[in-house]
Chains A and B, each alone.
Chain A
């Protein structure tokens, strides 16, 4: 009996999560894959016809937005590493006994809803708002200068909105470094720079990798920032997909674009993992 229970335990443990994934990921994915190969319209219904033209047309019509999304996602990720790494480093090594306070402060703005935060940026950055109003009246920037409705605003919004997902994994990786390793580096006559470059940085890479994974993917497929902070010429692929689903009811094109984006991101992640020399992406991300 006991042996049977022991044998069944792992399955029982995985069951809730597995069921969750099956219902809310596997089934919708199959439905979407099917939709992407259908043709028709909402009045006459959609039928499965192996209509792979949805992919060809979708990519032909919207390749600009796909490329733009990837570039925006990359730019936001790089900004996040530049901003997030020093923050994580400082909290991990200089935070002392108040580490958890600093982490809490970092997370505090993120208790507010994602959309609301983005809208407050819209207020802050508006043409005569808190930032630009005083600058304009002081004559420091020209009257017609604006930040909203530019790619700077969209990339900035993306970088801001996903920042904790970059800081936290890096913090965890740095926090885990055994102080004795650093002492050993000093004993072996490594200076501060050498210690950082040859000990701390390599040991923090799994954190950076996980951070990139958790920020690049949602940033690339985001549509809130582009619609709230962007203008003409800042549309991202997420906005196009939303538009195809909810405005045009062109389900095949929307699904085909979703799949294209998914494939693109998966390939990107695996290439990135290879480039970093890790064999097992998921293991590294979970470490």
Chain B
């Protein structure tokens, strides 16, 4: 007897799901969803850097051909980087007839880059013709993605004449193809003398258990990495992945023993003056300006092992609507007198060495407190560092490729995002 119920083919047919109309629809829907998902890719636009100077020159000519003055510049900069009354910009408008809208919209490089990247990728204006970005990861990405205008050095006569040799061929932008410096600064140790009796002199002070819970460190991986490396006596320029691991272990030890209060961005200044933290990683000019504006008595030192030097650079985004006006403004800041006034106010390293004589001359003319202040600025190693000072300073680590950078960032972010 041949019971069809025993037929395995029948059993399979009645227990397995058959593909019905609904399933076909569902399948079609799912593959459509799959397509939709896949269509959401994010475009990157890595461009090859010009390989020869002739090629670079032709890029410059191609970009600047037919560009004309418009009479207005939108300038994006960091807070505390110019006298709030903007005397420099008023002078610029008087001299050239070009008006300037100055906005302090950049608080840190990473979030600024995250903000402008989508517009630049879409070829749209970011609303600014001129911006200031620090050498480092985001600067490199802006160059790699082809978001920056190659500068026409024939339009930069002041820069050519007055910029210090150091500022004419930076490792992060050889030949200053895309950027020229706005100002440099150091990352060292700041402390509040009200709470710290013996002035810190070395990185070891940031690891001193005496200051448990009162030490501030920076959350930026490039900043904190250099300090970890300095503390171990390793030159950041010559460091490799094995050194990074050692530095990370050193920083982890500092964190886990409770010495670090918190990892800060630029917000370390207030807690330092209030006494929440007693000593901290800090940027040189911040401390000076805080003392001048709020009458605090904070101190800044360069540790004996060395410190980090960085440079904030002026650059023109590719989608700028007034590049000619922007490059005119860039060159204006290389006028010796303008550079001197700016340095007097912000107390960061000026790329114009000639400004020193102007400040000294100003000091000669001034009297009282102003005279003292200007004399201090002219003599300050934080504004005009000597060669001996500079030999102790190191830049941020420059990476071979994005894999190395990713490894570096994950090594050090594991410490700050605990």
Contacts and interface: CB of A to CB of B under 8 A. Distances in A.
A46 B44 contact: yes
Contacts of A148: 276
Contact of B417 (A34, A35, A40, A240): A240
Contact of A231 (B117, B261, B417): B261
Contact of A45 (B42, B255, B274, B406): B42
Nearest to B111: A246
Given A45-B42, A146-B213, A243-B413, A37 B262 contact: no
Contacts of A243: 413, 417
Interface string B26-49: 000000010011111111111000
B260 interface: yes
B40 A239 contact: no
Contacts, number: 109
B407 to A, nearest CB: 12
Contacts of A31: 40
B51 interface: no
B405 to A, nearest CB: 9
A146 B414 CA distance: 25
Contacts of A47: 41
Interface range on chain A (Cβ under 8 Å from partner): 35 or more
Nearest to A229: B262
A232 B110 contact: no
Given A233-B418, A243-B413, A48 B276 contact: no
B37 A34 contact: yes
Nearest to A251: B42
A37 B37 contact: yes
Nearest to A44: B44
A186 interface: no
A239 B417 contact: yes
A40 B44 CA distance: 9
Contacts of B145: 42-43
A269 interface: no
Interface in B1-52: 33, 36-46
Given A33-B37, A41-B402, 14 more contacts: A34-B40, A43-B141, A43-B402, A45-B42, A46-B41, A46-B42, A46-B44, A48-B37, A127-B276, A128-B275, A146-B276, A240-B417, A248-B409, A249-B117
Nearest 7 A-B pairs (CB), nearest first?
Answer: A45-B44, A34-B40, A48-B38, A34-B37, A46-B42, A247-B110, A231-B262
Interface of B: 33, 36-46, 110-111, 113-114, 117, 141, 144-145, 212-214, 255, 260-263, 271, 274-276, 402, 406, 409, 413-414, 417-418
